[in-house]
């Protein structure tokens, strides 16, 4: 799989059903605790982005993928839990409570299409705002087609804390005002003007835990990170991501426990195919 980790956060991710990598390596924004239905007030001029038409069907094909295009969202051969994870930035199974077994195991396909005006307006948004709206559109899709209602709670769960290693920082500061972007291929990240906080968010999906940035670093950095991805053959000469982070970037991932946002499923329905 080849994916781009950028401020635009749009890519096509082809992945197995059990993977947590979906759409730009799960850029994760932890929402405030409270009822998900209680949307903060928005200016009257604020546009609400939704999908115009949504098709849901059973799909036990082996062609498993999830992708965002400029005017659609598509998923095939994967269970509904993958949409929930993407919509709410979920990294671990422990971050979802009350999910029925069918939503974890029954593969489905979803095709959600925007109207032309929505697609055009969405494309004009800044990158991170576009990603935020894309996740909001998935949350609305879940509510409309699957009757999903949730609330948030905090649980003490395993996390990683990102710090500068004792040997010192090895990343190169980017030029002021440089545009942030990064390319991810299996076991390699080439980054330009990426902040430590952004790196922590994107690495969370690789290590399978939320990462809390405690580096104190400001601004963006240029770097290349090479590591043996999970499931790599024993003959792969590259180090683990933990060793690679310290040796190549001068950063350290320390295991810890801390408060993590968890969503509790209050209601969910198995939809009729259409």
Q: How many CA atoms lie within 13 A of 118 on its CB side?
A: 16
Question: What angle in degrees, to the nearest 10, is found between the helix axes of 127-146 and 116-123?
Answer: 140
Residue with tokens 């902040």: 195
Determine the 3-state secondary structure of 129 from DSSP: helix
Most confident of 31-45, 98-112, 116-130: 98-112
Q: 65: which strand partners?
A: 14, 76
Rounded to whole angstroms, the Cα distance separating 4 from 13 reads 9
Q: Which two tokens stand for residue 195?
A: 């902040």
CA diameter of the chain: 59
Question: Rounded to two decimals, what is the model's pTM?
Answer: 0.73
Average pLDDT, the chain: 84
- Model confidence at 43, pLDDT cuts 50, 70, 90, reads very low
Q: Alpha helices, DSSP H only, in 15-126? A: 23-26, 81-88, 101-105, 116-123
Task: Name the strand (E) or helix (H) holding 136.
Answer: helix 127-146
Backbone phi, then psi, for 130, in 5-degree steps? -60, -45
Instruction: Tell me: pLDDT of 104 over 50.
Output: yes
Is the pLDDT higher at 8 or at 85? Answer: 85
Instruction: Tell me: pLDDT of 34 over 50.
Output: no
Task: Name the strand (E) or helix (H) holding 213.
Answer: strand 211-213
Residue with tokens 């969370």: 204
In degrees, rounded to 5, the angle at the alpha carbon of residue 23 between the alpha carbons of residues 22 and 27 is 95
- Model confidence at 46, pLDDT cuts 50, 70, 90, reads low
Residue 10 has what pLDDT? 33
Rounded to whole angstroms, the Cα distance separating 133 from 254 reads 32
Residue 258 has what pLDDT? 95
Please state, as a whole number, how many other Cβ atoms lie within 10 Å of the Cβ of residue 114.
Answer: 21
Is the pLDDT higher at 129 or at 99? Answer: 99
Share of the chain above pLDDT 70, in %: 83
Spans of all domains in the chain: 13-153+262-267, 156-259
């Amino acid at each position: 799989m080849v994916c781009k980790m950028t401020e635009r956060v749009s890519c096509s991710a082809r992945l197995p059903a059990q993977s947590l990598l979906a759409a730009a390596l799960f850029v994760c924004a932890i929402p405030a605790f409270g009822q998900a239905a209680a949307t903060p007030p928005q200016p009257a001029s604020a546009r609400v982005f939704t999908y115009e038409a949504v098709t849901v069907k059973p799909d036990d094909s082996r062609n498993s993928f999830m992708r965002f295009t400029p005017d659609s969202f598509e998923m095939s051969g994967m269970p509904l839990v993958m949409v929930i994870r993407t919509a709410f930035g979920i990294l671990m199974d422990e971050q979802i409570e009350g999910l029925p077994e069918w939503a974890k195991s029954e593969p489905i396909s979803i095709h959600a299409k925007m109207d032309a005006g929505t697609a055009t307006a969405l494309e004009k948004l800044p990158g991170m705002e576009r990603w935020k709206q894309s996740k909001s559109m998935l949350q609305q899709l879940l509510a409309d087609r699957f009757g999903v209602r949730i609330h948030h709670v905090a649980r003490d769960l395993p996390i990683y804390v990102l710090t500068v290693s004792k040997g010192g920082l090895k990343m190169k500061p980017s030029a002021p005002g440089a545009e942030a972007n990064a390319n991810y291929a299996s076991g390699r990240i080439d980054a330009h003007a990426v902040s430590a906080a952004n790196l922590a968010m994107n690495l969370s999906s690789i290590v399978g835990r939320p990462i809390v940035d405690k580096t104190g670093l400001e601004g963006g950095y240029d770097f290349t990170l090479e590591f043996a991805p999970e499931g790599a053959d024993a003959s792969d000469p590259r180090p683990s991501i933990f060793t690679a982070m310290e040796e190549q970037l001068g950063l350290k991932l320390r295991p810890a426990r801390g408060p993590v946002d968890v969503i509790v499923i209050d209601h969910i329905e198995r939809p009729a195919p259409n």
